[in-house]
Amino acid sequence: MSDEALARRALALLDLTDLADDATAEGTRDLCRRAVSGPVPVAAVCLWPRFVAVARGTLGDGPVRIATVVNFPEGGTPIAPVIRETEAALETGADEIDLVLPWQSVLSGQTTAASAMVRNVKMRCGDKLLKVILETGEYPDLDKVRLAAELAISSGADFIKTSTGKTAHSASLPAARVMLNVISMTGRPVGLKPSGGIRTLADAKGYLDLADAIMGPDWATPRSFRFGASGLYGALVAAIGGGEAGGLTAGTY
């Protein structure tokens, strides 16, 4: 596959993200404009809950989905406020919810409450996608990644996502491999979203090659695979346009 074809494939799988602490409504409008004006529309924009209505007003009912985050970024909010946050986001126009798993509780063996949070948020989402963020870069080993992935999926996750992008260590190929292996053993469709630190065409290729090898070459579609990134957009557009594939836009996610 040529660099251009690979970049087009990856761009269609991108959740173009702005979760900066200083994000603004005007920045959200700009993000939405970029989401639909590139060589290929991205799969979704991902932004803070307070900007969901702005994004809906900008994107309307077009093909680009609107994702937002709850229990973000630390994953330590009690279940009742997380449910209220989810309901408010859906009411203002969110198509997808990215929920941070209470991963510190999971690592300490307190899995019941974490499972209950995923189940309750999925109940509110209904047929809208629920992506559960595991925060795998903070785990002591890959066995814990497997445990968290299995818990999220058994509790109703439609996607499992590597990272918030707010910690020192984000997505990694070893963690993604474990997550894909868990998905491959699941008796229903579940997607993967590598996120955080994915900034170049080579980065994207590594994850797509891994997905192709484990799940098959036709598996990775917007319904089953997403990249969570801000800087990756510029690299992909440059590759499609024949420019430097490693070029970045502003942003660190």
Residue range 68-88, pLDDT digits in tens: 999 999 999 999 999 999 999
Percent of the residues in the chain that have a pLDDT greater than 90, as a whole number: 94
The average confidence (pLDDT) of the chain is: 95
> CA-CA distances (angstroms) from residue 27 to 18, 20, 92, 183, 217?
8, 10, 18, 35, 35
Interatomic CA distance for residues 226 and 199, integer angstroms = 14
**249 inside domain:** no
| Per-residue pLDDT tens over the stretch 145-194 | 999 999 999 999 999 999 999 999 999 999 999 999 999 999 999 999 99
**251 inside domain:** no
Interatomic CA distance for residues 33 and 52, integer angstroms = 14
**28 inside domain:** yes
**174 inside domain:** yes
**252 inside domain:** no
**253 inside domain:** no
DSSP secondary structure letter of residue 123: H
Active site residues: 98, 161, 193
Interatomic CA distance for residues 153 and 148, integer angstroms = 9
In whole angstroms, how large is the CA radius of gyration of the chain?
17
247: pLDDT confidence band, cut at 50, 70 and 90? very low
- In the predicted model, is pLDDT for residue 213 greater than 50? yes
Calculate the CA 185 to chain-centre distance: 21
**38 inside domain:** yes
**60 inside domain:** yes
Domain carrying residue 101:
3-240
Give strand ranges (E) for the chain: 14-18, 44-47, 65-70, 96-100, 129-133, 159-161, 191-193, 227-229
26-44 mean pLDDT: 97
- In the predicted model, is pLDDT for residue 214 greater than 90? yes
3-state secondary structure of 19: coil
Of 32-46, 191-205, 232-246, the least confident: 232-246
- In the predicted model, is pLDDT for residue 244 greater than 90? no
Whole-number pLDDT of residue 242: 65
- In the predicted model, is pLDDT for residue 246 greater than 80? no
34-48 mean pLDDT: 97
Task: Report the number of distinct structural domains present in the chain.
Answer: 1
User: In CATH, what number is assigned to the domain containing residue 122?
Assistant: 3.20.20.70
Whole-number pLDDT of residue 1: 87
Structure tokens at 18: 């702005």
